DNA sequence: CTTATGTATTAAATAATAAAAAGCCAAATA
DNA sequence: TATTTGGCTTTTTATTATTTAATACATAAG
């Protein structure tokens, strides 16, 4: 009932590996050096050395440490099977919400989420606390958490916010120096848009990926940690919704391609104002699409 | 070693109070009604009733519950002294960081913070997880947390972001309907600015409050949860820094008053473009001030 | 005099646990 | 018969206890 000793196990195995590179009776480096090597505190190193001595792999007397015998495979400590990485929890959680169409104002059970996502409860608590800053979840008065979005209001506010951020991004692109990599990327995007436009009848579902790439390219010009953080969530949400709303998909995508091309035109002409206007028109369309996809869910 | 029974204690005392309003031998409402009343689960209500019966305050047999005697003051359960509210932890934390000029890349000890702020450790974990979304803190590889901001880069990106948000807000104000409360607020702000301008030689330190009010008024027009969340942090940070940077304060404030007035002029003329330009000029000044205040800290 | 070790102190992660909430069912009421 | 109520069970949450790990400090070795 306490913190796991994964650190110790990992360090122990690493030290074993290091021992294999040493000659028999060879001198083992100082505790501090070992700690540095393995990226762990001296406390852990000493625990490892204790065990190595116990197992008669090394001798250890004061600062004299020597290799007694060659380490064997069975000397290694088994690692507790690594659970799913907590890293992409955000992706998985938002995906779950959108895929299963979890309605607004659903109580979230940390215990249950912990099971579905195979993530310890305290990691989830931390994660949810972070999401609450985006207004996606909140604490319930009687304890626990609650999923707030995606209501119509949320979608509207998110779209508006996206509009604000992306208008700014477009303006910045227009003012980027000629040798900025964004220009090559845009030229390539133009080709890909034209290619898809030509094959729209069969390949229209390919647009989703292209769309994401387009917006990412535009936004990559803005070097701002706050905006970047939000973009991650925004693009995820829009992306998922489009994937699920299949009504009029071909027509919608064809129209979006033209809108994108207009933005590229304006940008390459270095006309910031025109680009911003084109971008805003495009984002208004996106907003409408997002809202109508919500309406379909309501009815279905 | 488990969750506190504050809920029970509070509920018990509330039920005692309710009993006082009842006549002797009076019927006590159903468990569900009591639970609803006190805002607590039936489980807690039943625990309370058990104790009330034990203390001979009520009789309780099946669904027949009657008041046996008038509750006395000593029947109440003592409440564990409420620690500092976790509510304004954000204010206190940011205040602490800025006031003591905690440098960037300082390791934060949850244990220590818990003591200084008189807040349980898990609350702090949640809070820090939230702040990490703003890029102010992050997890350290070997565990624990680390304060990232306020570096020069952070200040620049924050200022730029603020600029984006506030330009948008200003544009929206310009398009607000004539009966929107913002117009009255702006008229009042104009008077207060003029008054302070007249008395600038003596009252220049009053500007800080006025500044906050001005920006809050502008931003209040934008109804957007994402923007609102950020504004809280942004205004807090800018505000604190100005409070601590005393160089040239009078001159700076006098100039800012004029900049504010120009924005108000443009807004009242319903000239969105002009208002945005004026706002951007003002925010550029703010950015410079913020950066120079950081530089002073570096030198001092 | 610097660097490494031994020891003590402090902090962090996390499982265990009491408190609270939610769920279920039969009995009682209307 | 439909609905509410109370007794009981199960699940979940908040919070602590405890183990692991990190850090600080004194002491010894080179």
In Å, how far is B75's CA from the nearest CA of chain A?
26
Least confident window among A36-50, B68-82, B110-124: B68-82
Residue B246: per-residue pLDDT? 75
Q: Is A226–B158 a contact, with Cβ atoms under 8 angstroms apart?
A: yes
CA B43 to C1' D1, whole Å:
29
Q: In chain A, which residues from 118 to 157 place their CB closer than 7 Å to nucleic acid strand D?
A: 121, 125, 139, 143-145
pLDDT digits (tens, 9 = 90+) for A86-97: 668 888 898 888
User: For position B300, what pLDDT does the model report?
Assistant: 36
Distance, CA of B83 to CA of B120 (rounded, Å): 9
**CA-nearest residue of chain B to A234?**
B226
pLDDT at A79 over 90: no
How confident is the model over A8-59, as pLDDT tens digits? 999 999 999 999 999 988 899 999 999 999 999 999 999 999 999 999 999 9
Is the CATH number of domain A152-299 1.20.120.530? yes
**A89-147 domain in CATH 1.10.10.60?**
no
Q: Tell me the pLDDT of chain B averaged across its residues.
A: 89
Does A135 sit within 8 Å of B229, measured CB to CB? yes
Chain B, nearest residue to A224 by Cα:
B157
Task: For residue A63, give the nucleotide whose C1' atom is nearest its CA.
Answer: C5
Burial A107-128 (b: 16+ CB within 10 A, else e): ebebeebbeebebeeebbbbbb
How far away is chain A from the Cα of B70, in angstroms, using its nearest Cα? 30
B143 pLDDT exceeds 80?
Answer: yes
Long-range contacts at B268-272 (CB < 8 A, ≥ 24 apart): B268/B183, B268/B186, B268/B187, B270/B174, B270/B175, B271/B174, B272/B170, B272/B171, B272/B174, B272/B175
**What Rg value do the Cα atoms of chain A yield, rounded?**
27
Counting every residue written for chain B, the total comes to: 300
Does A6-75 match A152-299 in CATH topology? no
Listed as ranges, the nucleotides of chain D within 7 A of a protein C-beta are: 4-9, 11-24, 29-30
- Report the residue from A40, A130, A133 with minimal CB separation from B229: A133
Kindly state the greatest CA–CA separation across chain A.
78
pLDDT at A296: 65
Is A165's CB within 8 Å of B164's CB? yes
Among B44, B87, B164, the residue to mutate for chain A (most A Cβ within 10 A): B164
- CA A5 / C1′ C15 distance in Å: 13
Of A130, A134, A225, the CB nearest to B226: A134
Domain ranges for chain A: 6-75, 89-147, 152-299
The pLDDT score that the predictor gives to residue A83 is 65
Confidence of residue B293 (pLDDT cuts 50, 70, 90): confident
A6-75 is classed in which CATH architecture? Orthogonal Bundle (1.10)
- Interatomic separation, CA of residue A27 and C1' of nucleotide C5, rounded (Å): 16
The most confident of B78-92, B221-235, B271-285, by mean pLDDT: B271-285
| pLDDT recorded at residue B298 | 53
Contact state of A226 with B157 under an 8 Å Cβ cutoff: yes
Strands (E), chain B: 58-61, 64-67, 106-108, 137-139, 145-147
Per-residue buried b or exposed e for B173-187, using 16+ beta carbons within 10 Å of the residue's own CB:
bbeeeeeeebeebbe
Sorting pLDDT into bands at 50, 70 and 90, what band is A297? low
Give the pLDDT of residue A17. Answer: 93
Rounded Cα distance between A118 and A112, Å, is 10
């Amino acid at each position: 009932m306490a913190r796991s000793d994964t650190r110790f196990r990992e360090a122990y195995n690493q030290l074993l590996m290091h021992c294999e590179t040493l000659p028999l009776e060879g001198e083992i480096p100082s505790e501090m050096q070992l700690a540095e090597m393995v990226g762990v505190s001296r406390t852990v190193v000493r625990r490892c050395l204790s065990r190595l001595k116990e197992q008669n792999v090394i001798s250890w007397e004061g600062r004299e440490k020597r290799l007694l015998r060659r380490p064997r495979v069975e000397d290694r400590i088994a690692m507790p099977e690594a659970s799913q990485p907590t890293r992409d929890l955000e992706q998985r959680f938002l995906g779950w919400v959108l895929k299963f169409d979890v309605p607004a104002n659903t109580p979230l059970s940390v215990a249950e989420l912990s099971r579905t996502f195979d993530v310890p409860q305290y990691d989830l608590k931390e994660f949810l606390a972070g999401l609450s800053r985006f207004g996606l979840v909140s604490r319930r008065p009687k304890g626990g958490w609650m999923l707030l979005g995606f209501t119509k209001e949320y979608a509207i506010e998110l779209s508006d916010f996206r509009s604000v951020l992306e208008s700014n991004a477009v303006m910045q692109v227009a003012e980027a120096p000629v040798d900025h990599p964004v220009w090559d990327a845009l030229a390539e995007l133009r080709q890909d848009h034209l290619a898809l436009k030509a094959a729209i009848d069969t390949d229209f579902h390919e647009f989703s990926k292209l769309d994401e790439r387009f917006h990412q390219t535009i936004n990559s010009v803005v070097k701002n940690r706050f905006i970047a953080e939000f973009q991650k969530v925004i693009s995820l949400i829009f992306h998922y919704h489009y994937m699920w709303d299949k009504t009029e998909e071909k027509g919608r995508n064809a129209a979006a391609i033209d809108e994108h091309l207009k933005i590229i035109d304006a940008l390459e002409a270095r006309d910031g104002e025109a680009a911003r206007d084109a971008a805003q028109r495009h984002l208004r369309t996106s907003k409408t699409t997002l809202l109508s996809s919500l309406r379909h869910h309501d009815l279905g």
